[in-house]
Amino acid sequence: MKYIDEFRDKKFCEKLAMKIRNILDEEREITLMEVCGTHTMAIARYGLKTLLPRNIKFLSGPGCPVCVTSNADIDKAIACCRTENTIITTFGDMIRVPGSSSSLLAEKVNGSDIRVVYSPTDALEIAKANPDKKIIFLGIGFETTVPTIAASIKDAKDNGLRNYYVLSMHKVMPPALKTLVDSEEITIDGFFLPGHVSTITGTGIYEFIPENYGIGCVVTGFEPVDILQATLMLLKQIKNGNPTVENQYTRTVRKEGNPAAKQLLAEIFEPSDAEWRGLGIIQRSGLEIRNRYEIFDVEKNIVLQIEETREHPDCICGKILKGVSEPPDCPLYETVCTPENPVGPCMVSSEGTCSAYHRYTEYRI
C-alpha cells in the first residue's frame, strides 16, 4: 500500500538499525520509553527489538487508554450497564476489561444491551434511532479521541438530542508525563512521544521535559521506519547532550497542533483530577464535561449503583505502566493472568504491555 509500505521497508529499517548500532555506546544501557500503546504494539508486531542491540531497552509508558483506566472507572462503566432502559456504546477494547467483580462482556451475557462502535457518531445514530432509550457512550482515550467525542456532544446539542450521555473517563498526557519524570523509581533516557496525541495538541506541551528534566523527546509515528528513525534521533540527542523536542512525525504533526480540535475540546470539556492506574490521582489530568453541556453528562443525570472497588492484590499493572516492572516480573503473568482470563488491563487491551509481551514474545536468533 502506497504511503504505508515505504514506512515498513526492510532496506530502510536495516539501514537505520545499522546507523543506530554505529552511534550507540556499547557499554551503556539506554532506556527509552514509548509513551503510546500503539508504539508498544508496533515494536512488538514488527519484531523491532530483534533488529536492535540489546543495550537499548524499551519501556512501555502509560499511553494505552484502556490500561490506565482505574478499576473505579471501570466499575462505574459496569454500573452504567446495570441501569434500566439504556444502550451502552463503547470502543471494542473496553469489552473484556475486568472491573472489581464484572466486565462489560459479563454484563452483556447477563442481558445488558452493549454495542461496540467505531466512533461516537455511531452512538449518536443509535440515540436517534432509539428515542425512548438512554444511550450512554463510554468515553475513554486521550487528546486523540476526545475531540471526536466533544463533536458528538456538540452535535447532540445542536440537534436537540436529549437521550445521549457520555461517561467521561478521558485523560490528557502532559500531567502524566510530569508525574513519571518526577518519580524517583525510574530512569528514562528518552521519550518516544505519542504521534497522534501530538497531531491534536502540537509539540509545545512537551517542552518542559527537556528544559526541566534534561530528557530528550521525539514525537514519533507508528510505522517501523518511524520508530527506528526516532530511536536514532533520541540517541543523537543523548550523545550530543542536547535534549530537546524533535518532531519525527512531520507528515502529520504540526508545532501548533490542530487548533480547531483543541478549541472544540476546550468548549465541551474542562480539566479535572483523574485517577490513573499505577500513577494514582493526578491533578488536572482528566476531563469533565462543562456545566453548559451537563445534560449530556452521565454522572449528573443518571443515578449509578457503583460497587466497592477491589484490586487484585498481586496484579502489578500499575508498576508495568510506570515502566518499573516488566510482565514476567508479575506472579500472575501467564499463570493466572492470560489473554483468555485477564486479571489486569495490560493483558486485556491489544495495546497493553502484557498482551504485547504474550502475543509477540521477543525472539532472538
Partner 1 sequence: MHNLIKDLFLKSFNNPLLSTLDDSAIIDIDGQKIAFTTDTYVVKPLFFPGGDIGKLAVCGTVNDIAVMGARPLWISCALVIEEGLDYEILEKVIASMKRTATAAGIQIVTGDTKVVESGNCDGLFINTSGVGVIEAEPLRCENIAVGDKIIINGGLGEHGIAVLSARSDLGLKSAIKSDCATLNFFIEEILDCSEGIKFMRDPTRGGLATTLNEIVEEKPFGIMLEQQKIPIKNTVKGTCELLGFDPLYLSNEGKVVTVAASEDAARILESMRKHILGKDSEIIGEVTSRHTGKVYIKTLSGGTRIIDMLEGEQLPRIC
CB 53 within 8 A of CB 331: no
By CB under 8 A, name the one of 25, 29, 47, 240 that touches partner 1.
47
Which residue stretch of 24-32, 139-147, 166-174, 184-192 sits at the interface with partner 1 (rule: CB under 8 A)? 139-147
Instruction: Name which of 13 and 209 has its Cβ closer to partner 1.
Output: 13
The type of residue at 195 is: G
The whole-angstrom separation of Cα 151 and Cα 264 is: 7
The answer to the question of residue 328 lying near partner 1 (CB under 8 A) is no
**3-state DSSP call for residue 357?**
helix
By CB under 8 A, name the one of 14, 211, 256, 273 that touches partner 1.
14
Q: Which has the closest alpha carbon to 297: 130, 121, 120, 162?
A: 162
The answer to the question of residue 131 lying near partner 1 (CB under 8 A) is no
CA 343, 281, 61 angle in degrees (round to 5)? 60
The whole-angstrom separation of Cα 48 and Cα 88 is: 38
Instruction: Name which of 43 and 235 has its Cβ closer to partner 1.
Output: 43
By CB under 8 A, name the one of 21, 115, 239, 284 that touches partner 1.
115
Q: CB atoms < 10 A from the CB of 252, how many?
A: 14
The answer to whether the Cα torsion of 152, 74, 118, 86 is positive or negative is: negative
Phi, psi of 291, rounded to the nearest 5 degrees: -55, -35
Which residue stretch of 168-176, 183-191, 254-262, 332-340 sits at the interface with partner 1 (rule: CB under 8 A)? 332-340
- Footprint of partner 1 on residues 145-174 (CB under 8 A)? 145
Q: Which has the closest alpha carbon to 235: 248, 222, 224?
A: 248
- Footprint of partner 1 on residues 174-213 (CB under 8 A)? 196
Instruction: Name which of 66 and 279 has its Cβ closer to partner 1.
Output: 66
In the DSSP assignment, the letter for residue 186 is -
Report the run of H or E that residue 278 belongs to, with start and end: none
Q: CB atoms < 10 A from the CB of 135, how many?
A: 25
User: Which residue is it, cell 441501569?
Assistant: 83
Please give the size of the binding site for partner 1, defined by CB under 8 A: 49
Which residue stretch of 44-52, 151-159, 166-174, 208-216 sits at the interface with partner 1 (rule: CB under 8 A)? 44-52
By CB under 8 A, name the one of 1, 84, 160, 305 that touches partner 1.
1
Roughly what angle, to the nearest 10 degrees, separates helices 259-268 and 146-158? 60
The answer to the question of residue 339 lying near partner 1 (CB under 8 A) is yes
The whole-angstrom separation of Cα 345 and Cα 353 is: 9
The answer to the question of residue 66 lying near partner 1 (CB under 8 A) is yes
- What character string, x for contact with partner 1 (CB under 8 A) and - otherwise, covers 69-108? ----------------------xxx-xx------------
The answer to the question of residue 360 lying near partner 1 (CB under 8 A) is yes
By CB under 8 A, name the one of 30, 33, 51, 230 that touches partner 1.
51
Q: Which has the closest alpha carbon to 149: 298, 47, 253?
A: 298
Closest separation in Å from C-beta 300 to partner 1? 24
For 42-105, the DSSP string reads: HHHHTTGGGGS-TTEEEEEEEE-HHHHB-HHHHHHHHHHHTSTTEEEEE-GGGTT-B-SS-BHH
By CB under 8 A, name the one of 30, 35, 38, 76 that touches partner 1.
38
The answer to the question of residue 345 lying near partner 1 (CB under 8 A) is no
Closest separation in Å from C-beta 88 to partner 1? 15
- What character string, x for contact with partner 1 (CB under 8 A) and - otherwise, covers 225-254? x-----------------------------
By CB under 8 A, name the one of 39, 46, 161, 297 that touches partner 1.
46
The whole-angstrom separation of Cα 342 and Cα 319 is: 17
In the complex, the residues that contact partner 1 under the rule CB under 8 A are: 1, 4-5, 8-10, 13-14, 17, 38, 44-51, 65-66, 91-93, 95-96, 115-118, 122, 140-142, 144-145, 196, 224-225, 338-340, 350-351, 358-361, 363, 365
